[in-house]
Structure 1
């Protein structure tokens, strides 16, 4: 979480995009990971159109085009490296090391978006043994029939010994760009949209071994986010609270500053760790042995290290957090958008907490005590009056993490796409972005709730 509205490269870009669409419908498609957004008036806009597509079944993995990869069946079907398609020399820009890797690829069938999109966010779940890693790419067709290049949406490994996990900024064809973890149309006001896309996975391993990554899930969320400052209010319909562990990021200030300056910026991994442990995910003493034994809650330090994006220089890469959650047995994670707190109620009722991304001035969220250019917190329930019960990691200690925020304030700061930042300038908001972590084999109620919010 950023406590002040810092003019980072991400927020400057977001403000530029928001200003460009201020005169017409569009998408603030380059919002920061917590969402440095914009403000004003625009209530009454229709619900955001969102398209989710995921490849997760054995039949899914048998579709598309495979070169050196193979589908595997079982309780959790996936994609593995079989007979490599070749070798390639890769130079890691963050270590300067060049190494040779065997590789194989899988390219998905074309997915035509139900709603042509201004923004697409890709997420994946995988296991990468030491000596392996994966790359995820997206290519699409615009609504005018022309094609995008292949964009790298992430180079990822569960560990950090072989490569440095990274996004790749500065990818653009002059009409769309990739900023950290999101593909976005550069000028939504032009009417240009992404009509369809394909995803490509490349699986790597050290030559001469039988090692392989296993990818269990890959998919994308496409959306045409309405350009608005305020959103319609939902009607409370649920009073319930989930028993989610409570962790403060603030007690980790100064710890491991190589990971985004320590705990002050660890809202995303702290939130992730809360939900992972809610579902029973635990780290072993061996996994935590690198953490200073004097530190409390060492699992939060671990989550920060293993979600860290070396290009972004932070722990708030959305898909990297979802991928980290899925490294725990029996869990999967996705990044999506929801349309209202009614959607969150549907998930909470099925036992699924929601990690949300929002940005706000201190005056816009009663009781927070801070303002932020981007922050993640976890919704764990609702009071009898419909107010939001959130585990907010931006708290002085674990005992202060549980907060109750006014429903109307909270819903608006999360779902809007524009706001005024602390400098009085228009900037972008995340428009309802969230992480959902849930069992790899969901129960009937969970599956029904996920389907109701568009997640398979």
Structure 2
């Protein structure tokens, strides 16, 4: 949960890092636009590269597509070497690198925001960088923006977003490409993504990237949203973890557990899918601490530039470090979409902000908070595992449907000072098997995910 004194990432840009994109190469030649996957609500466009054909379809410089049950992209022959100075450790190291650039993707929903997400394996001695460039609706082009420098571990580099990226028309806000003045009518019409894979020179190590994609959206400014009609009474049995029992633990990660809503929610769903860290992976955690896997999730989702654990794509990427799991960031259009997922056995992590008076029974207000939706009552109210609970036994909550959908789906709200601030507009994380069941595949497709 965002601390009361901490502005939302959508309001303020954090302190700058003076680091240029390491290993960046010029934009690849133009390519045939790719096919969109448009969510039924008409506000969101999802595109993901996951198949062997997808990976063979891009522009490769030193990378190679690999087939198999989970096709991916690996570093085959380095395109060159580069020095990278980690802005958080000040250490400079030399890395071999190779690149893969996706074809142009023309958005069916010209977007005010784009959020990339990825799933990858990065053994020690490797890491990846994800970048985005695009064309505006006025025909001009963006620069190449860094959307994240990421490794599953934290020994080689410190995973990080990159601030101070703007061209006067758009900016990067931690993990989100955003049009600076949406009211002007300017939109992003198309984009390309670029992967750079890094490894220790002279080795045969390689990252493996299984999924790369982005969600573009143009959600209208709205203080309220239409009420949905209840359509499902079902509850999934998801483990319950409180962030609050970790208050004061490992303050180097976002001040400690009181701010760990995102990794706590992630860990709940990871364990719903029967995955969890090994005893060896948890050996660094103080044995006196309960639920050490929540501490582990906080450490390995932490964004050293954002100085927090709430980077949305970093949480999805963390989930995908577990065996045969995928993670994506998207937006949904209604509680009906969530009902579709719950009916197929897929819980969701949702992002919302609200005053204490706006969500009955919460007992707090927040500038940004993640919780896990696990089902619906017979009356259609939302059953959520809310990590902002005093202990694990209190995590399961029931929130009034109409209140909950409004604080989740709106894009404008009034804060405690009466100032108009932003809302997340239906952002959620979805974690699901690498090989979904037929029912799960249909439910994901119904909300625009493949």
Band the TM-score falls in, shorter-chain normalisation: over 0.9
Pick from 390, 397, 400 the counterpart of residue 396 of structure 1. Answer: 390
> Shift in Å at residue 11 of structure 1?
5.5
1:51 aligns with 45
| 1:284 partnered with 2:278 | yes
Aligned-CA RMSD value: 1.1
Give the conservation status (yes or no) of the 8 Å contact 1:48–1:226. no
1:394-430 CA distance string (max 9 Å, x none): 0000000000000000000000000001111000000
2:155 aligns with 161
Counterpart CA distance in 1 for 2:206 and 2:224 is 47
1:34 aligns with none
> Shift in Å at residue 47 of structure 1?
4.5
Counterpart CA distance in 1 for 2:49 and 2:73 is 10
> Shift in Å at residue 3 of structure 1?
4.8
Q: Where do 5+ consecutive residues of structure 1 fail to align?
A: 15-45
1:183-217 CA distance string (max 9 Å, x none): 00000001000000000000000000000000000
| 1:191 partnered with 2:190 | no
| 1:117 partnered with 2:111 | yes
Give the conservation status (yes or no) of the 8 Å contact 2:42–2:109. no
Give the conservation status (yes or no) of the 8 Å contact 1:48–1:225. no
2:229 aligns with 235
Instruction: Classify the secondary structure of the residue corresponding to 2:330.
Output: strand
Tell me: CA distance 1:368–1:48, structure 2 relative to 1, closer, same or farther (3 Å): farther
| 1:82 partnered with 2:76 | yes
Counterpart CA distance in 1 for 2:102 and 2:255 is 38
Alignment of 1:252-401 (within 5 A): 252-401=246-395
Pick from 205, 215, 218 the counterpart of residue 224 of structure 1. Answer: 218
Pick from 169, 175, 198 the counterpart of residue 181 of structure 1. Answer: 175
2:91 aligns with 97
Instruction: Classify the secondary structure of the residue corresponding to 2:211.
Output: strand
1:157-193 CA distance string (max 9 Å, x none): 0000000000001100000000100000000001000
Instruction: Classify the secondary structure of the residue corresponding to 1:165.
Output: coil
2:12 aligns with 13
1:343-372 CA distance string (max 9 Å, x none): 000000000001000000000000000000
1:62-118 CA distance string (max 9 Å, x none): 001000000000000000000000000000000000000000000000000001000
Instruction: Classify the secondary structure of the residue corresponding to 1:172.
Output: coil
Counterpart CA distance in 2 for 1:49 and 1:261 is 35
1:33 aligns with none
Tell me: CA distance 1:404–1:213, structure 2 relative to 1, closer, same or farther (3 Å): same
Pick from 203, 222, 235 the counterpart of residue 197 of structure 2. Answer: 203
> Shift in Å at residue 7 of structure 1?
5.5
Give the conservation status (yes or no) of the 8 Å contact 1:416–1:432. yes
Runs of 4 or more, structure 1, over 2 Å off, are 6-14
Tell me: CA distance 1:257–1:48, structure 2 relative to 1, closer, same or farther (3 Å): farther
Counterpart CA distance in 2 for 1:48 and 1:378 is 24
TM-score (ref. length: structure 2): 0.93
Give the conservation status (yes or no) of the 8 Å contact 2:85–2:93. yes
Counterpart CA distance in 2 for 1:7 and 1:264 is 13
Tell me: CA distance 1:9–1:336, structure 2 relative to 1, closer, same or farther (3 Å): closer
Counterpart CA distance in 1 for 2:237 and 2:8 is 38
> Shift in Å at residue 375 of structure 1?
0.1
Instruction: Classify the secondary structure of the residue corresponding to 1:322.
Output: helix
Paired residues, number: 424
Counterpart CA distance in 2 for 1:287 and 1:96 is 27
Q: Which has the higher contact order (CA 8 A, sep 6+)?
A: 1
Instruction: Classify the secondary structure of the residue corresponding to 2:12.
Output: helix
Instruction: Classify the secondary structure of the residue corresponding to 1:390.
Output: strand
Counterpart CA distance in 2 for 1:8 and 1:239 is 36
| 1:408 partnered with 2:402 | yes
Give the conservation status (yes or no) of the 8 Å contact 1:3–1:371. no
1:2 aligns with 2
Tell me: CA distance 1:3–1:409, structure 2 relative to 1, closer, same or farther (3 Å): farther
